[in-house]
Structure 1
Amino acid sequence: MDKYIDAHIHLDKYSNIELEKMFHELPFQLSLVTVSSDLASCKRNLALAEIYSFVKPAFGFHPEQVLPSDHEISELFSWIKIHIEQMAAVGEVGLPYYLRSEGRKQLGGYIELLEEFIKLAKKWDKPIALHAIYDDAPIVCNLLEKHSIKKAHFHWFKGDSAAASRLIANGYYISFTPDIVYEKEIQDLVRDYPLDKLMAETDGPWEFEGPFKNKPTHPAMMAHSISALAELKELAFSSALKKLYNNTKSFYNID
């Protein structure tokens, strides 16, 4: 049976019924890296990992929301440190690109919080899953370089060639979603990015356009994504699938 790893999904946002249906329908062997958005999200992802051995939880605070209070930050970090052994990675963390596009201009507190997560990843030798696109990518690179972080994953990365070149030079990974099937921007980026630094994700339950319009986001969509990648890289599907699986398994230390 083929083996897949969804490198970035929000399992906590699916209901138990949706998850049972999703896992029952799978036509392949699957592992999932489920990222967290806040403390409640961390707790649900940990609970899911205790039920499903193929679920690997990442703990963090999604940046596209109002910053937590000092008390909430302290509570979150205290909880993470208690559960550090169960944590596959730090994530999802980063900077609020979309919030700022809606008129929120202040980055300071978000940068400070991100740096604390980076320090945690460094201290505990954990991979870090990042939300950092376009103009935010160089800012995040500065922080990663400052703390000599090697295992960084820029999920659903979008950015110009200069930013992509910097990520490549640092050995950072990026992942692509099902929009590789219909988005030229993503196709061009992935075509030029080293194969050994790529992973596949769904970012579910985020919904997609093109052939996936009005369809619930499901890990099975990765078969379409990887087929698109194989065509872009002029590879056999089986070779692309195996390479992405091994990349993700190694990056996230998945058994």
Structure 2
Amino acid sequence: MFACVLRLAQEKKKPVIVHSRFSHQRTHKMVSDTGIEKAVFHWYSGPTEILNRILTDGYYVSATPALAYSPPHQSAITKTPLERILIETDAPVESRGKISEPANLVDALRELSRIKNVPANELAQITSQNARRFFGI
């Protein structure tokens, strides 16, 4: 099914958002081999080697509120240049006893600011520009 979605996205020249938990290498290879031009790897927390391939291919990764407690996610985001980061939540998934919601973007931004040591208002501008570039809006 994932391969079918990728082919359709490639045919229609649409971006894809990839949730690759525990399958980082395989999903990256499928996205890359399909010729997808724009992809964001949601809540990336995989190996640095795969992250480097993702970035080399011009893809993005997303920073989520999980930056507050996930060392693998923190590590990946630390190694990702700002111009390749989008922020997002996992809404409406329950996490740590709470239902996540779009308002949690503020939490992701705050944690990204802490990790990157860049003011949140500056990061809001950068990640908004990244989103406009990614989605072509």
Normalising by the residue count of structure 1, what TM-score does the alignment of the two structures yield? 0.51
Q: How far, CA to CA, are the matches of 1:193 and 1:168 in structure 2?
A: 8
Which residue is equivalent to 1:121? Answer: 9
Q: Given the alignment of the two structures, is residue 241 of structure 1 paired with residue 124 of structure 2, yes or no?
A: yes
Query: 1:234: how far off?
Result: 1.5
Which residue is equivalent to 1:194? Answer: 81
Query: 1:182: how far off?
Result: 2.1
Q: Given the alignment of the two structures, is residue 144 of structure 1 paired with residue 27 of structure 2, yes or no?
A: no
Query: 1:188: how far off?
Result: 1.5
Deviations 1:178-204 (A, max 9, x none): 111122221111111111111111111
State which of 132, 138, 154 in structure 1 corresponds to 2:20. Answer: 132
- Which residue type is aligned with residue 141 of structure 1? H
The unaligned stretches of length 5 or more in structure 2 are none
> What is the RMSD of the two structures over their aligned residues, measured on CA atoms?
1.5
Deviations 1:48-76 (A, max 9, x none): xxxxxxxxxxxxxxxxxxxxxxxxxxxxx
Query: 1:143: how far off?
Result: 2.2
Query: 1:147: how far off?
Result: 2.5
Q: Answer whether contact 1:178 1:208 (CA < 8 A) is retained.
A: no
Q: Answer whether contact 2:44 2:61 (CA < 8 A) is retained.
A: yes
Q: Given the alignment of the two structures, is residue 231 of structure 1 paired with residue 114 of structure 2, yes or no?
A: yes
* Correspondence list, 1:1-255, <5 A: 113-134=1-22, 136-209=23-96, 214-254=97-137
Tell me the percent identity: 26
Number of residue equivalences: 137
Normalising by the residue count of structure 2, what TM-score does the alignment of the two structures yield? 0.90
Q: How far, CA to CA, are the matches of 1:222 and 1:253 in structure 2?
A: 21
Deviations 1:120-177 (A, max 9, x none): 111111001112133x222222222222222011111221111111111111111122
The unaligned stretches of length 5 or more in structure 1 are 1-112
Q: Answer whether contact 1:226 1:240 (CA < 8 A) is retained.
A: yes
**Aligned with 1:202: secondary structure?**
coil
Q: Answer whether contact 2:60 2:84 (CA < 8 A) is retained.
A: yes
Greater C-alpha Rg: 1
Query: 1:249: how far off?
Result: 2.0
